Structure 1
Amino acid sequence: MDQEVIYKALRGEATPDELEQVARWHSENPEDFQRCADEVHMQIDMMELYGEEIRPASWIAVHWRKVVRITVQAAAMLAIGLFVGGYISKERTYDMLAEQINTLQVPYGQRLKFTLPDGSSVQLNSGAKIEYPSVFKKNLRRVKLSGEAVFDVEHDERCPFVVETFASDIRVLGTKFNVVADERHQRFSTALLQGRVQITNRLDPTQKDIILKPNDIANLSNGHLFIEPITDPEILCWTEGLINISGLPFDELMEKFERAFDVKIDISLEKLPNIRNVSGKIRVNDGIDKALHILQYTADFSYKKNSETNVVTIY
């Protein structure tokens, strides 16, 4: 079987005659079919990522030098489901794809924007991880998030969209919102920019669901969700490669620097500088040295960087 035919089938560009060839090949030699399907999927997975766009499910591209960790379960079965409609019922194939979970994690120092199977747009910040099915179920679109992301959800009143985090389930019909879900530091927030969302507290089942309106933000404090107006007009500046340093404590800003610049920061200060009154934005492309130099104008600290270990020590 010509590999180009397999590529075309995976891309959805195969002719009916070519799809018939693939179906005949699967029927006559299923073991060889599965082996080749795995190989072709791997080659597609390792293709160069252009810009920050990534397409989901059957066409997943990954940056070669710094691979985004993607796991696509049962790739060969996905290929069979796409190719051999005559051998597997459409309903069974659909259910099979809806159970296949893809995991995508963005390395520190990078951001990633891609499109979910329903057409909804997601932009992931450094270190964020998302889990999503190859196709959504017919009555529910559910994804699982760890880290920070912006969602721009396609409206479908018959099929709600739910973002699951360690702290909450965020249920929407069609909207744009920013989510921070940091289980390690017990930080969670949802900022609503457009539309309407309903949030269920997973940590405190006794709390009633809360409804956000545009320009509301829900923050987690001691396991309870509180609604406040959005006071930070630059809440989405990270999507443009900027770090907003306004109002952050020093240690939390250093955590942001670790993710954005892909470094390990050790703080060896007896007392952390108070930078809550400092405001401004730092461009990620300028690098960690420039970011720390800028911060030194307003905070008393020194630092040294070990290029071999990629560790920055602040003292």
Structure 2
Amino acid sequence: MKDELLIKFLLKEANEQEKAEVQQWIAADADHKTYFAQFEKIWLASKTLSPNGKADEEQAWIRFKARVAANQSAKDSHSPVAHNSAIKSLNVNYTWLKVAASLVLIAGIWFAYNFFGDQKYTDLLAGNQVIKEILPDGSEITMNKNSVISYATDFKEERSIHLKQGDVFFDVAHDKSHPFVIEIDQVSVTVVGTSFNIRHIKDETEVVVETGIVKVASGNDVIELRQGEKVSIKPSSPQLIKETNKDQLYNYYRSNYFLANNIPLIKLTMALNEAYDTQIVINEPSTANEPINTTLKRSDSFDSNLAKICRTMDLKITRNGAQILLSKNK
């Protein structure tokens, strides 16, 4: 995959065929995902730099592109004509050209260190239990069961985490000189010192902030979340839209309470299925989306909590093998 095409993709200047080519390449291999995530991180970093100086902006951009392309030269050989053509084909927003000179240095160091250096990652799996861990930088994390992350082995210098699946609460140690970055597929979460929860199940990601400020990025879309705010990212709606967090159900694996404050019943049953390894099924959409207000103790038995839900919602239980079917009493 040519870096020129990746940059066009990040700039949202790729046509539909090129978009499909990049997306298929990313999905084809875990190493491709890692490469793209780090590549994207360079571009996102440019947005935090203050444009200054009177350097020739267009020439600075070309030098940046040449440096990025140089990392691919060991595998591919591109003619000067083709390379210059690729550069000229980008209708770059000139605001970003003002920081291109700084990006030349960032790109050279970043790619050399991350893609050709010895950076390694350590896997951390929660298994069948909720676990708490202290990372090498002093940050504390709580992982819901069946959650999987990996973190940079040299974590004090490179505070980088890949969240592969599950629910993880982060209480990040403050270190302004080393931002704490979490990669989830094509989503990036960046913080300095704060606390927040990330849920990543299949292709859906949710970030809920408890304290501080969290920056969430997807492609060229970047938003900041503060205490009590959240963002949900789905393949069907990839745009980052900030919302006020209205319930505490996401926190059940830490608080040990299922707090259902006027939320759809289906959301509560999904949390119970995760916690107790059960298969509650609601076939009636109207029942699944009906709001419920209740508080359940995680320490109570599944049957006890299920009975409380049925009393509250006037439901009956029908069992079909491992499935537990809920429906309205008629």
User: TM tier, shorter chain?
Assistant: 0.5 to 0.7
Give 1:292's match in structure 2, choosing from 277, 286, 306.
306
Give 2:126's match in structure 1, choosing from 100, 105, 129.
105
1:121, 1:152 within 8 Å by CA — same for their partners in 2? Answer: yes
How do 1:1-315 and structure 2 match up within 5 A?
98-107=119-128, 110-136=129-155, 138-166=157-185, 168-184=187-203, 186=204, 188-201=205-218, 205-207=219-221, 209-220=222-233, 222-232=237-247, 236-267=251-282, 269-273=283-287, 276-303=290-317, 311-314=323-326
What secondary structure, in the 3-state scheme, does the structure 2 residue paired with 1:290 have?
helix
1:36-72 Cα shifts (integer Å, max 9, x gaps): xxxxxxxxxxxxxxxxxxxxxxxxxxxxxxxxxxxxx
Identity rate, percent = 23
In structure 2, how many angstroms separate the alpha carbons of the residues matched to 1:168 and 1:135?
22
What secondary structure, in the 3-state scheme, does the structure 1 residue paired with 2:240 have?
strand
170-179 or 233-242, which moves further after superposition? Answer: 233-242
Please tell me the residue identity of whatever aligns with 2:127. Answer: V
Decide which structure has greater helix share.
2
**Are residues 143 and 274 of structure 1, via their aligned partners in 2, closer, same or farther at CA, if it must alter by over 3 Å?**
closer
Please tell me the residue identity of whatever aligns with 2:228. Answer: N
What secondary structure, in the 3-state scheme, does the structure 1 residue paired with 2:241 have?
strand
Shift of 1:274: 5.0
TM-score, structure 2 as length reference? 0.56
2:121, 2:150 within 8 Å by CA — same for their partners in 1? Answer: no
Consecutive unaligned residues of structure 2, counting only runs of 5 or more, are 1-116
Shift of 1:200: 0.8
Consecutive unaligned residues of structure 1, counting only runs of 5 or more, are 1-94
Q: Please give the root-mean-square deviation of Cα atoms over the aligned residues, in Å.
A: 2.7
What secondary structure, in the 3-state scheme, does the structure 2 residue paired with 1:297 have?
helix
What secondary structure, in the 3-state scheme, does the structure 2 residue paired with 1:247 have?
strand
**Are residues 265 and 285 of structure 1, via their aligned partners in 2, closer, same or farther at CA, if it must alter by over 3 Å?**
same
2:264, 2:291 within 8 Å by CA — same for their partners in 1? Answer: no
Q: What is the number of residues matched between the two proteins?
A: 209
**Are residues 248 and 171 of structure 1, via their aligned partners in 2, closer, same or farther at CA, if it must alter by over 3 Å?**
same
Please tell me the residue identity of whatever aligns with 1:105. Answer: A
1:11-30 Cα shifts (integer Å, max 9, x gaps): xxxxxxxxxxxxxxxxxxxx
1:105-161 Cα shifts (integer Å, max 9, x gaps): 332xx3211111221100112332222234316244333242212100111112111
1:139, 1:158 within 8 Å by CA — same for their partners in 2? Answer: no
Give the 4+ runs in structure 1 shifted more than 4 A.
none
Task: Tell me the equivalent position of 1:7.
Answer: none
Shift of 1:313: 4.1
1:244-276 Cα shifts (integer Å, max 9, x gaps): 223333333222111101223344x34551564
In structure 2, how many angstroms separate the alpha carbons of the residues matched to 1:100 and 1:277?
42
Please tell me the residue identity of whatever aligns with 2:223. Answer: I
2:266, 2:288 within 8 Å by CA — same for their partners in 1? Answer: no
